[in-house]
């Protein structure tokens, strides 16, 4: 049961981030108003952690799920609790943990899915590359920054 949940979580995560990055380009107001909905992915992530423990799954699943929940936690803390504009500032003390968890969780979804199913791994790879490209293109400090 864990593998389908893990793969689905990886796909939904990548698609949700693609939507957030696409909206950030022209409709930042929607991201600011509804972006917290992305954090609800903590529910299936915790459920997958329980499944991993219950099923005695390889330890890597649990590690990558903990990393992903850590990423969601830091996203929640920076954006919704402390309201730190860390994307606009280049403070390595804020960026290193955030970017490290973001990249590590993306990597985890990719490699663990690829391990179980190459076709689904290719889907996750394509979505992850598209997500990274959309993030770079619409990043507030990136070249895709829209002046308004």
pLDDT of residue 145: 39
pLDDT score for 26: 87
The Cα–Cα gap between 102 and 46 comes to: 17
End-to-end CA distance of the chain: 47
Dump pLDDT digits (tens) for 89-148: 778 899 999 999 999 999 999 999 999 999 999 999 999 999 999 999 988 765 443 433
Residue spans per domain, the chain: 2-138
Using a pLDDT cut of 70, give the percent of the chain over it: 95
With a pLDDT cut of 90, the percent of the chain lying above it is 82
Distance from C-alpha of 84 to C-alpha of 44, rounded to nearest angstrom: 27
pLDDT at 141: 66
């Amino acid at each position: 049961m864990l593998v389908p949940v893990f793969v689905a979580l990886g796909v939904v995560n990548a698609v949700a981030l693609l939507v957030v990055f696409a909206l950030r380009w022209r409709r930042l107001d929607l991201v600011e108003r509804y972006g917290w909905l992305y954090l609800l992915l903590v529910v299936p992530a915790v459920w997958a952690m329980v499944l991993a423990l219950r099923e005695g799954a390889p330890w890597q699943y649990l590690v990558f799920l903990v990393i992903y929940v850590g990423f969601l936690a830091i996203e929640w803390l920076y954006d919704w609790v402390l309201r730190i504009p860390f994307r606009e500032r280049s403070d390595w003390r804020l960026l290193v943990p955030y970017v490290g968890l973001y990249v590590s969780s993306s990597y985890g979804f990719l490699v663990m899915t690829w391990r179980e199913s190459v076709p689904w791994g290719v889907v996750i790879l394509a979505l992850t590359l598209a997500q990274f490209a959309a993030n770079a293109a619409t990043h507030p400090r990136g070249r895709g920054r829209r002046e308004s």
